[in-house]
């Protein structure tokens, strides 16, 4: 094998490894995954495409992280770059029924809590996720979504994204959570 062939082979291996790293990080960041609802997603050329089959904007935001109106929704997780909306929503971690689910990310597994409105607004949350705090209100829920703080002002788990949403988009999300039994 001559010197030129060795260099070409090494470059090909490096390019392939780089492409695998980029694709892997995009998959981990949720760039190609859209939380699904059985009738809300279609697949086209390997990418999940959201459809307009949502009863409300709040439901769309919950399942997709995208809004039919207002500014684009974006999210940021600690130590990661900002993620555009439409690629991941609340359902990705909290489940289609909002009752919570186990989430694995970056060699860590956590249980995302139940975020049905009736549960969030119960009198007291007593350590179910290692935190004691009063019930959520609309204002403290908005702060949890945008700033990652519980009603006591303590930081939520790092895996909870900090969402950039307008007040009307969060109000739509709250309305949807209130409709879930």
How far apart, in Å, are the Cα atoms of 99 and each of 91, 92, 94, 117? 10, 12, 6, 10
Q: To which H or E segment does residue 104 belong?
A: strand 101-105
Per-residue pLDDT of the chain (181 residues; tens, 9 = 90+): 789 888 988 888 989 888 787 766 655 554 444 444 444 443 333 444 445 689 999 999 999 999 998 889 988 876 555 555 555 789 988 999 999 998 887 777 888 999 999 999 987 655 555 567 789 999 999 999 999 999 999 999 888 999 999 999 999 999 999 999 8
The token duo for 29 is: 């960041």
Main-chain dihedrals φ then ψ at residue 19, nearest 5 degrees: -65, -40
In 10 A of CB 22, how many CB atoms?
Answer: 10
Measured between alpha carbons, how far is 46 from 95 in angstroms, rounded to an integer?
Answer: 23
Biggest alpha carbon–alpha carbon distance for the chain: 75
Q: What pLDDT, on a 0 to 100 scale, did the predictor assign at position 21? A: 76
- Which SS3 state, helix, strand or coil, does residue 149 take? strand
Q: What pLDDT, on a 0 to 100 scale, did the predictor assign at position 40? A: 43
């Amino acid at each position: 094998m001559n010197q030129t062939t060795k260099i070409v082979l090494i470059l090909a291996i490096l390019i392939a490894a780089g492409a695998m790293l980029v694709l892997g990080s995009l998959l981990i960041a949720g760039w190609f995954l859209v939380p699904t609802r059985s009738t809300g997603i279609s697949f086209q050329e390997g990418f999940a495409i959201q459809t307009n089959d949502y009863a409300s904007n709040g439901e769309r935001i919950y399942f997709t992280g995208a809004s039919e109106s207002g500014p684009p929704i974006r999210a940021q997780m600690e130590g990661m770059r900002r993620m555009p909306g439409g690629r991941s929503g609340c359902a990705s971690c909290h489940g289609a029924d909002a009752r919570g689910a186990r989430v694995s990310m970056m060699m860590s597994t956590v249980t995302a809590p139940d975020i049905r409105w009736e549960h969030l607004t119960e009198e007291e949350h007593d350590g179910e996720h290692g935190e004691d705090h009063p019930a959520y209100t609309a204002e403290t829920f908005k702060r949890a979504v945008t700033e990652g703080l519980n009603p006591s002002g303590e930081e939520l788990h790092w895996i909870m994204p900090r969402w950039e949403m307008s007040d009307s988009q969060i109000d739509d999300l709250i309305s949807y959570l209130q409709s879930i039994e």
